[in-house]
Amino acid sequence: MDFIVQPGGAVNGTIRVPGDKSISHRSIMLGAIADGTTTVDGFLEGEDALATLNAFKAMGVAIDGPENGRVKIHGVGRDGLKAPAGDLYVGNSGTTIRLLSGLMAGQKFEVTMSGDESLNKRPMERVAAPLREMGATVDTGEGGRPPLRIKGGSALKAIHYDMPMASAQVKSCVLLAGLYSTGETSVSEPAPTRDHTERMLRGFGYPVMKRGNTISLIGGGRLQGVHIDVPADISSATFFMVAASIAPDSDIVLQHVGINPTRIGVINILRAMGGDIALDNKREVGGEPVADIRVRSAQLKGIEIPEDQVPLAIDEFPALFVAAACAEGKTVLRGAEELRVKESDRIQVMADGLQALGVKAEPTPDGIEIEGGGPSLNVMGGGEVQCHHDHRIAMSFAIAGLRASAPILIKGADNVATSFPNFVELAAQVGIKLGVRQ
């Protein structure tokens, strides 16, 4: 599937983007191993979150839905999962395979997990290494990539793990394995990462301690089923936040968006660039802070992105690169080498696409330098860009059309449904001139 975006337009209206992907994944995982029933509202019915749901169905968990974002999970308790009949296929979902690795390490049975072509290129030693330290038997494919085979049946021991890189997936994997280990498992992170796993464990009644940059829990406890209201995903809201910032005469309200402090790097960075962003109706839902986000057009300025914001905005950078292309002056990103091992090499793929549209974008080993086009309405031309089946790249170039002088053809946009199934409809609703070619 390809996207074709026509140039120009303004972005206006009030919308609610789909539920947070990170929280949707975790609601299924923890609900499945809890005692009793867990109900979820606002569940993201995208391919990634459905991959997690289907994996637990394959392990004997009865799950009703999703229907209009509502899911009912009949928990089997911490030791109630059953061996699947075959391998677990998790599609494009790095969160599923990495977090599930931690849970699978504590089971009595063997499981093999693999994904699509993109996922099977992503590094898995980062979770395999700490799990082996805990006593699990974990085999990876060639080059430390999927498929992942976890043999199960090993008695896990608690460890303290100093993470070499800031990664919520690695942290969560170790903590989830810690549920099945003897003693106190702790993880120290070099920079803050999203803390949905810790918050949700507490929501299920499982104590999690935090001391400075170290998070810990004691194994052997049980989880109790709860109700979860999933906030709208700030990563999905980002495309519309950037769109309204760069398109003249724009004013948009994004309802019920999660503003977890470990996820608001995009708001901090856009504000530092001069973005006009207001957070209204702040409240807390199920332990997660939410707000309605209002964004109006602004003339953005290029900045040096503070490195402490990088882990807080790691998934939002493709869209932020489009904001940088529309800013006045140079934007410099450093300390973001993690972007090179996402669904695609997001630094190189975004640089290639921006260059194809006439933007000065120079990739560096751990970031990028982008020379913005400033106040000029058409800061980029039209043309063809390759998104290498990376959903966030495809959606980022879809909003780039707002400041282009000619149509943009976005090749390989088929994975958008993994995280944002109704993106095309919502984009059209607010004024982005986006079409689809099968």
Q: Which of the residues are catalytic?
A: 315
Closest CA to 427 of 1, 78, 38, 3: 3
> Looking at this protein, which amino acid is placed at residue 346?
R
The tokens describing 237, both together, are: 């809201």
* Cα gap 337→201, rounded to integer Å: 30
Q: Are strands 184-188 and 160-162 parallel, antiparallel or unpaired?
A: parallel
Provide the CB-side half-sphere exposure for 253 (13 A, CA): 9
Farthest CA pair distance, the chain: 63
Site of tokens 């990563």:
235
Check if the beta carbon of residue 288 is closer than 8 Å to that of residue 258: yes
How is residue 226 written in tokens?
């709860």
Place of tokens 């708001």: 267
Nearest partner of 193 among 257, 124, 265, 258, judged by Cα:
265
Contact residues for 257 (Cβ-Cβ < 8 A; gap 6+): 17, 231, 232, 233, 234, 237, 290, 291, 292, 293
Q: How many CB atoms lie within 10 A of CB 430?
A: 20
In sequence order, the β-bridge partners of residue 293 are 254, 279
- Nearest to 178, CA basis, from 218, 215, 213, 207: 218
Q: 407 is written with which tokens? A: 């149509």
Q: What residues pair up with 378 in beta bridges, in sequence order?
A: none
